[in-house]
Amino acid sequence: MYPDLSYLLHDLLGTRVDNGFSLIKTFGFVLALAFLASRYFFGKELVRKEKLGLLKPSKEKVSLGFPASPWEILMNAIVGFLIGFKVIYLFNHHQEIGADILPFIASTEGDILGGLMGGLLFGFLQWYGKHRERLDKPVIKEIDVYPHQRNTDITIRAAISGILGAKLFAIFESTENIKAFFENPIGQFFSGSGLAIYGGLIVAFIYVYWYVQKKGMKPIHIMDAVAPALIMGYAVGRIGCQLSGDGDWGIVNSMPVPTWWFLPDWMWAYDFPHNVLNQGVLIEGCEGTYCRRLAEPVYPTPFYEVVASLIIFAILWSIRKRIVIPGMLFFIYVTLNGFERFWIEKIRVNDKIPFLGMNPSQAEIISFLLFFTGIIGCIVVYQRSKKTPPP
């Protein structure tokens, strides 16, 4: 396992663990790659739907040739100060801060000199950038902005709202988490552990739906465009879970490897050595921060979800051009995603919630609802298409 990049480089290059690269956590690094993967496929679908005439450009007012205002310079200087204040201190004290960086970011600790240097640099860059583009006669004009040009903006908004939603849902995933939150709300909210993927998807969906509608885009076509991108992002994100050993593993698998099993043994049962949670028993002869492995091997459920998600992506990507009913592709995605997650929960470690005399997990309840929401959605958009042919 690779809790941070120093462990990955140790295996690849033989460098020591817990060096400066330990600041880059594997899960966070792969999560960033997941958003980039989603952005790529989302962008391709936006362009395709624009060519089909399903998505139109919207008017946007832009200012050309104006100098940077004092407010713009000040805001950029504040951002630069915060970055310099935290980053310089982090590089000088990374061993003291340890694995959980988010509580440090939420604290008042930092480097004043680094903050001042960052503030001056960012303020100057804002002034200089506008100064280079300054015109003798500044103008305000309307331009056409196509949906694919908002790809990065939508992705960033989805990422931020998704992470916040994932954190909120994780807090209410179990009674223990709720108690811990009320005992230490700031520490729990800014803790680097604990993200509920469905919470992120739900909150990001609501926020992005509102945003694209505000910008004059038809949400139903955006939903279809984002469906393959979402499941690809999910697949890449689960690679981060598998590589870092973040606790999203399965229950103990005590069954011996069957004779017909032709894949590597770790795909059957795995003990997640050097997991980022530092759970389990000590690894003999290990030197470093992460020196534990699980006492008993478990189902590597993140890996199973990577495979399942890639299969769902292949299905959606192969049928996306054949389906002409708006919304159908998105609801197929919802159905398949709910189906996959519901069954993986059966062999996954999770917190149970008392619900109608049963004890399902939060993800089990949501995936069950998503599965039937997807089926109902498919029926509704199909019936609607018979009354109103698609454009």
50 backbone dihedrals φ, ψ, rounded to 5°: -65, -40
The candidate with the shortest Cα–Cα distance to 88, out of 116, 123, 107, 125, is: 116
Alpha-carbon gap, residue 114 to 84, rounded angstroms: 5
Alpha-carbon gap, residue 232 to 89, rounded angstroms: 36
Token couple for 366: 């949501």
Ordered alpha helix ranges (H), the chain? 5-13, 26-51, 70-92, 94-97, 102-106, 112-132, 151-171, 175-183, 185-189, 197-214, 219-244, 301-319, 328-344, 362-387
DSSP state of 16: P
> In which region does residue 97 sit, left (phi positive, over 0), alpha (psi from -120 to 50) or beta (all else)?
alpha
Residue 191 is predicted with a pLDDT of 58
Q: Where are the domains of the chain?
A: 5-56+216-255+265-387, 70-141
Alpha-carbon gap, residue 33 to 25, rounded angstroms: 13
Encoded amino acid at 202, one letter? I
Residue 99 is predicted with a pLDDT of 55
Chain-centre distance for alpha carbon 274:
23
Per the DSSP assignment, residues forming a β-bridge with 292 are 282
Q: CA 10, 14, 20: angle at the middle one, nearest 5?
A: 50
Given a contact cutoff of 8 angstroms between Cβ atoms, the answer to whether 329 and 377 are in contact is no
Chain-centre distance for alpha carbon 141:
36
Residue 197 is predicted with a pLDDT of 78
Residue 371 is predicted with a pLDDT of 96
Residue 298 is predicted with a pLDDT of 96
Chain-centre distance for alpha carbon 23:
19
Q: How far does the chain reach from its first CA to its final CA, in angstroms?
A: 50
pLDDT digits (tens, 9 = 90+) for 114-129: 999 999 999 999 999 9
Alpha-carbon gap, residue 194 to 176, rounded angstroms: 12
Residue 55 is predicted with a pLDDT of 93
C-alpha distances (whole Å) from 168 to each of 92, 120, 198, 368 are 32, 35, 11, 20
- Ranges in the chain, pLDDT < 70: 94-106, 173-175, 177, 181, 184-195, 354-357, 389-391
Pairing status of strand 139-145 against strand 281-282: unpaired
Given a contact cutoff of 8 angstroms between Cβ atoms, the answer to whether 121 and 158 are in contact is no
Q: Tokens 């989302």 sit at which residue?
A: 42
